[in-house]
Structure 1
């Protein structure tokens, strides 16, 4: 039996609305009164490729995830294919993957959607702001205006103490309380 897109939308819409309604009740990890500074000179061609998740603020969609990676590749019309992978139940556990698409909305500011069949609905796109990327494009710090998510990414599974300290500084400058930041186990 083939499931029709209209049926999928009908079934998913209540869940999306519930998510929207409850999202406003969840506190973020940053002071929204602090203006966010993004990497306005972001070179997307250098940003593409594989990134390892070094640290993150807790979120519902990564519960139990370890060995997390994000792979970005170019698509037509300036869009970016996003493939997030994580191991569930430990580094040797089964791999979960989520595929989505990102679009640039302003310099250093992207939006990501993992529900392509609902992409016409504006609330299905999530903010993904590149707050900082080092000169060699080895470490990146990502955040969201409401501060409900944030990540430290790197080209390798581990980073130096100095790189981690600098990433923490970027988060603090953007109003984040790094007390809830959790390190992500990597191979």
Structure 2
């Protein structure tokens, strides 16, 4: 009887340990994590939005969404987002991004006039979650899971690469079923 009790206790402790480890691992996989470092000069330039999570400030955009990044003399990053509306009008918004870590992979972006950019609640998170070694495709989001973009240097992205970046987003806890793919006119 003593051996049966001892076996049950060891089995229970082992089961509890496996459950705890499993729970801990699952909790970690749903947390977005920025890449350690990006080369801002390689990241600069034009990117085409391939897909995004719907958000208020992109409500008028129906196609041809791009982001143009430039490195400013003060080491901030200039941002110019553009898109086409339902009426075929191209609209754009200028902003600036400020590095939040030494690797420049976590940024805060503001599109307000320069006099109001110092207000902390006016800045959004822009984390580079994944970027390929040649800086051709990137996954961008933030810690809140509210924002997510798949960006490419080309207006089209092959299905295998797209699925691979979707998988990374899923692993970080994003609901990719809500992603909207962005059409681009030739």
Structure of greater Rg: 2
* Structure-2-length-normalised TM-score: 0.79
Alignment of 1:1-187 (within 5 A): 34-65=30-61, 66-89=63-86, 93-106=88-101, 107=103, 108-115=105-112, 116-187=114-185
SS at match of 1:76: coil
* Worse-matched range after superposition: 105-114 or 50-59: 105-114
Inter-partner Cα distance in structure 2 for 1:100 and 1:56: 19
Shift of 1:47: 0.2
Inter-partner Cα distance in structure 2 for 1:111 and 1:32: 23
Q: Which structure 1 segments of 5+ residues have no match? A: 1-30
RMSD: 1.6
SS at match of 2:166: helix
Inter-partner Cα distance in structure 2 for 1:111 and 1:121: 11
Inter-partner Cα distance in structure 1 for 2:175 and 2:80: 28
SS at match of 1:171: helix
- 8 Å contact kept, 1:54–1:158: yes
Count of matched residue pairs? 155
Shift of 1:64: 3.3
SS at match of 2:129: strand
Measured against aligned partners, the alpha-carbon deviations of 1:104-147 in whole angstroms (never above 9, x if no partner) come to: 10131011000022112111111000000011111000001111
